[in-house]
Amino acid sequence: MLKTGDFFAFGRPKRILCTWTSRSMKETITIKEIARRLHISPSTVSRALQNNPRISPATREAVHQMAGQLKYFPSTTARNLRRGKTGVFAMVLPEIRENFFSEVVNGVEELAFGHQYTVALYQSHDLFERERQILSVLAANQVDGVMLSVAKESQQFDHIQNLLDRRIPVVLFDRIPPRIETHQVGCDMEKGAYEATKWLASRGFRRIALLNGPHPLVASEDRYRGYVRALLEENLPVENALIKRVDLTPDDTARQMAQLLSTPHRPDAVLAFNDYVALDAMQVCRKQGLQINADISFVSFANLPLTAYMDHSPLASVEQHPYQIGRTAVEILLSVTESGPDESAPAFQRVMLEPELVVRVE
């Protein structure tokens, strides 16, 4: 380390450049240093550190011992450069504070870290422009793969195609836009909505409303199709007055729920886009003096753990398996990034997990 200081000679101060170094701070131990000390080649050291059976046990032991003595740590950066990789998977999602997405992150991190990949996490906050900027940065930095759940504002997807054109693998999860040829992982929301609506009908509910998500989201259309199919099978009316779309904010949910309650024949049950929407809508009902699960009941999606602690929770919620969605997304990226240069690229994978209706109140 170089340090400038005052040095006194013969009573007169002089400004000189003093040099003092700590070997451990100055030098990074490399394979070449181990090879020099053991009088073997760097390639032999590299193979020995990987416990290659072509290297004799005695040499392997000597190399590991010297590596420990010198406090050698393999450089992940150097390894990735040799492989033409960055060692980074990026994940772009709307809001980490939502329990569903935080569980997806848990599934991603556990498997990615186990394969020595770093996960870079970004939030779009459901804004298209922010999502576009994030993907532009990721494209420029050539990450090894991207996992993306699109923002509710996103209706154009050239920024996703830009990643694919740069040969960066992309796995779309949960919120999956149409007509993009790439890997996909999600849960069958149409089936989930169908089963939830059928379950309500089987419990005697006849005026079942839908508090759906915003129109651009494919997940909203999936819920709508499942809901309508179930009503038709049960010979129940499909009424526009009972179908509302919310922008997923508490204020808009409150407005739409108030409109449902103002209809001449209010609903006796509501299928909500997710548990957050259901909880916001239930607040409106309470303020109007309605008793949850007596005057009006709810079924939703996401199966939030916190609802187990409520006195009057939604009757049921559709489990979407977010942890498994995260793990599956990483499995797909690993299958692509770990393929050898001579191997043909895997075909695009589409994995749709089976939903599970979790009944909380019988």
Token pair of 19, please? 């040099």
User: What average pLDDT does range 297-307 have in this prediction?
Assistant: 92
The pTM score is: 0.77
At residue 135, φ and ψ (nearest 5 deg) are -65, -30
- pLDDT of residue 308 exceeding 80, the answer is no
Instruction: Classify 273 as helix, strand or coil.
Output: coil
Contacts of 96 (CB under 8 A, 6+ apart): 102, 105, 121, 123
Mean pLDDT of the chain: 87
How does residue 23 score in pLDDT terms, banded at 50, 70 and 90? very low
How does residue 280 score in pLDDT terms, banded at 50, 70 and 90? very high
Distance, CA of 345 to CA of 342 (rounded, Å): 9
DSSP string of 207-259, one letter each residue: -EEEEE--TT-HHHHHHHHHHHHHHHHTT----GGGEEE--SSHHHHHHHHHH
- How does pLDDT run across 217-240, given as a tens digit for each residue? 899 999 999 999 999 999 998 999
- Strand-strand pairing, 12-19 and 2-9: antiparallel
- How does pLDDT run across 122-180, given as a tens digit for each residue? 999 999 999 999 999 999 988 999 999 999 999 899 999 999 999 999 999 999 998 89
- pLDDT of residue 21 exceeding 80, the answer is no
- How does pLDDT run across 81-106, given as a tens digit for each residue? 455 577 999 999 999 999 999 999 99
Element (H, E) at 12: strand 12-19
Domains and CATH numbers, the chain: 17-74 (1.10.260.40), 85-187+322-353 (3.40.50.2300), 189-319 (3.40.50.2300)
User: What average pLDDT does range 106-134 have in this prediction?
Assistant: 95
Token pair of 86, please? 């960055």
